[in-house]
Amino acid sequence: MARFRITTKMMKNSNGVRIEPGMTVEVVTQSMNNPLLTNGGQAVADAFMRIYGIDIKKAGALNMVYLNVEKLN
């Protein structure tokens, strides 16, 4: 299992969703691959919905332009 920290890099306001820089979630995955590239980033989208109540996929920010991915272990 691998644990990743995903942090927003910049502000974005799109489709009624506002993302601020520094919003952070942690995701645990079965694979060692980048969670944004695995299963369409669904684990990351679910984490942002659970913690912040925002749909990061709807905002169009579920990609490496807006998110920084850091492997923790």
Q: What is the pLDDT of residue 65?
A: 95
pLDDT tens sequence across 60-72: 999 999 999 999 9
Q: What is the pLDDT of residue 31?
A: 87
Are the beta carbons of 69 and 36 closer than 8 angstroms? yes
- Banded model confidence at residue 56, pLDDT cuts 50, 70, 90: very high
Global pTM? Answer: 0.91
- Residue range 18-39: mean pLDDT, rounded: 93
Which stretches of 20-62 are assigned E, i.e. beta strand?
Answer: 24-29
Contacts of 29 (CB under 8 A, 6+ apart): 1, 2, 3, 4, 35, 38, 43
Average pLDDT, the chain: 94
Ramachandran bin of 37, using left for φ above 0, alpha for ψ from -120 to 50, beta for the remaining angles? alpha
Per-domain boundaries in the chain: 2-71
